[in-house]
Every structure is written in structure tokens, then in C-alpha cells.
Structure 1
Amino acid sequence: MNKSKHLSDIFLVDQLHVGDMNSFDLIFEKYGNRLYAFAISYLKSNEEAEELVQDVFLKLWENRAKLNRESSLKSYLFTIAYHKMCNLFRQKEQHNKYILSEKVQDEKSVNLEEQIEFKEALNQIDQIIEELPLRQKEIFIKSRKEGKSSKQIAEELQISPATVDNQISAALKYLRKHIPEANIGLILYFFLFL
């Protein structure tokens, strides 16, 4: 029986604050496979996906004392994964630029075309987010990119949590309608936080 499914993230974060290894294991059990699936869908490498998941959980452990129990743990973990993946793609792109400048053609080098497609898709998402009404965009970015909870956003902007949830829901609907079908992986990234 998967015990982690029955424990709230707030409880697990509280236990993590005091250095409880069991809660860390339960968080890994709860989110490890989901993070791996997210990573492998872009990295296409078991080794890189596994390393990325390890890095995410290492950062979680290192920052355990600073975790905000009111913030979404899921959002926190996936945001770390997303940023690490972007950094990895940037590093690979620099590596490929070096290889191209040296006129070295290696079949094992990272597929630059896939990286460019990924970056273009992310830029497309950012452009669609830019089209959102100003307040809705602000709320959406605080929620999805900064990993803040509805309660935190509501307090920060002095509005009700229900208003925050409604604005996020409207933004996600807009994204669903305007993100091309070809970028289904990116669509899933945003909807992991529903």
C-alpha cells in the first residue's frame, strides 16, 4: 500500500522541517516517478532524467528548513525540475555551438534541432501568457512560475483566494485553447498543477 498518497504535503513538509528522513522517502515515493516521466519526455535519456530527479530531491533536502508549508510542494518540485531542464538545454546548446564552431560532427552530440524546437515551444508559451489580461497574467506567473499558493497570492495582492483560483482557471483555459496540439508536453506541464 502506498502510504504517501494518504499523507498531506503540509504534514510531510512539517516532518521534513525537522529532518525526518521517512517523510523525505514518502515525498520521493509520491513525486519521484511523476518527475521522472516529466523529465524523460524531454530529455529522452534515462540517465539524464534520473540525474535530474536526484538533483531535484537533493535541492529539496538542502532547502528543507526554508520550505513554506503553505506553498504547493508539487509546484515547488516541478518548478525546480523545469528550471534544471532549461539550464541543461542551455548547456547542451552551448556545447553544440562549440562543436559546430570546431566543425566536429559527432553522432552522439545532442540533437540541436530538438533543443531549438523545445526553446521555440517555450517561447510560444511565454507569448501566449503575455496575451493574458494583466492581472490574470500576474496571478498565473506567481502561481505557476514562482510556485506560490492561492492563499499567498491572495494576501500579496489583497484579493480573495477564490478570485485567485478563478483567474488561474481562466488562464489555463486560455492556454489550453491557444497552445498548439504539437506541444502537448508543455500543455501537460502547466496542467500538472491543476
Structure 2
Amino acid sequence: MQEISFRNDILPLKDKLFRVALRITFDRAEAEDVVQDTMIRVWNKRDEWSQLESIEAYCLTVCRNLAIDRSQKMEAQNESLTPELEQKAIASGPYDQLVNEERMKLIHQLINELPEKQRVIMQLRDIEGESYKEISEVLQLTEEQVKVNLFRARQKIKQRYTDIENYGL
């Protein structure tokens, strides 16, 4: 087991933890608070770090649980998540850029409408690039359940997007 350093191993997870918390709480200030609380809890458990298989999975689990607790207490509103981290496609003109922005807004809206479990799995897999194994540890599911939920989430978004694009539904 290698020595785990708060500065080198845990602090770099801050942005990833924020994005996960934001997907659950839909509130920037709440997500920032969740990340801060996560860091404090992880620091307070520093004596147990050497026993953990993955410090990242542990941090994500703590973050997810805190975010769920906070969002349940606040009865989080379904605000749209701003696509601030999206790389904008290089558009050939203002019209193309506007179309791309509208499509991204629609995709974010569709992601935000997913059930919480599917939304978090999509965030961790498609945006954060986590492995199925890490996601299954964080969410306490089997890898097969993670794959099934991710498939269903992607299918639901694809179907809704197609319906809206083709039929305006």
C-alpha cells in the first residue's frame, strides 16, 4: 500500500466531487458545501486511509451520500444545470453556435430529468470517466446493475432527444 497524501491524492478530486454533488443537489452553493463537508469527513478518517482499497471511491461515496442527504432536506428544485464545463463545438457561424448551445441545453435538461441513480451513474461514467467497478463501489451496486442503469439512461435520453428533434414532443 502506498502512502496516501491529502494534498496529492484527495485535493485533486475536488472538481470531480463538486460535479457529482452538483448533479445531485442542482445548487452550486450546496454542492460547494457538500465538497467542503466531504473533505472534512475524509480528513477526519485519515487514520483509516491505509485500509481503503480506493481513496477516490471512498471520497465519491461520502460526497454522494452527503449530497443526497442535503438535497432530501432541501427538497431540491429541478433547476437546469448550466453547461459550463462543456466544450463548445467550433461553429462556422452564429447560427450554428446557437443551434449547438440549444442542443446542449436540451441534453442537460434530459439528463437532469433522469432518476437520481441513472443521473449519477451517467455523470460518473460518461463525464468523469470512472470505471464500472469504481461506480459499483461508490453506489453499492453490482457492475451489472451499473451497466444496465447506464444503458437505460442513455436509451431514455436518446429516445427523448430524437422525439423532440423530430416531432417537437
Q: State TM-score, norm by structure 1.
A: 0.45
Q: Unmatched 5+ residue regions in structure 2?
A: 81-110, 120-132, 159-169
Partner of 2:126: none
Matches within 5 A, 1:22-41: 23-41=5-23
Q: CA deviation at 1:118?
A: 7.1
What is the alpha-carbon distance in structure 2 between the residues aligned to residue 88 and residue 183 of structure 1? 26
Q: CA deviation at 1:75?
A: 1.1
Q: State TM-score, norm by structure 2.
A: 0.51
Aligned residues of 1:140 and 1:171 also touching (Cα < 8 A): no
What is the alpha-carbon distance in structure 2 between the residues aligned to residue 71 and residue 183 of structure 1? 34
Q: CA deviation at 1:38?
A: 1.9
DSSP 3-state at the match of 1:179 = helix
Find out whether 1:111 has 2:77 as its counterpart.
Answer: yes
Residues 80 and 90 of structure 1, relative CA distance in 2, 3 Å threshold: same
Partner of 2:139: 145
Q: Unmatched 5+ residue regions in structure 1?
A: 1-9, 14-22, 94-109, 126-138, 148-166, 185-194
List, as ranges, runs of 4+ consecutive aligned residues in structure 1 with deviation greater than 4 Å: 117-120, 139-142, 180-184
Q: Pick from 116, 121, 130: which aligns with 2:115? A: 121
Map Cα deviations across residues 32-52 of structure 1 (whole Å, 9 max, x no partner): 111112222343433222211
Q: CA deviation at 1:11?
A: 2.4
Q: Pick from 141, 146, 150: which aligns with 1:176? A: 150
Map Cα deviations across residues 141-188 of structure 1 (whole Å, 9 max, x no partner): 9734349xxxxxxxxxxxxxxxxxxx72x444323222255679xxxx
- Which amino acid is the alignment partner of residue 149 of structure 2? L
Q: Pick from 11, 34, 39: which aligns with 2:2? A: 11
Q: Pick from 28, 36, 39: which aligns with 1:46? A: 28
Aligned residues of 2:21 and 2:63 also touching (Cα < 8 A): yes
Aligned residues of 1:52 and 1:81 also touching (Cα < 8 A): yes
Q: CA deviation at 1:113?
A: 8.3
Structure of greater Rg: 1
- Higher relative contact order, chain-length normalized (CA < 8 Å, sep 6+): 2
Aligned residues of 1:121 and 1:183 also touching (Cα < 8 A): no
Q: CA deviation at 1:87?
A: 0.5
Residues 87 and 172 of structure 1, relative CA distance in 2, 3 Å threshold: closer
Find out whether 1:59 has 2:41 as its counterpart.
Answer: yes
What is the alpha-carbon distance in structure 2 between the residues aligned to residue 140 and residue 72 of structure 1? 8
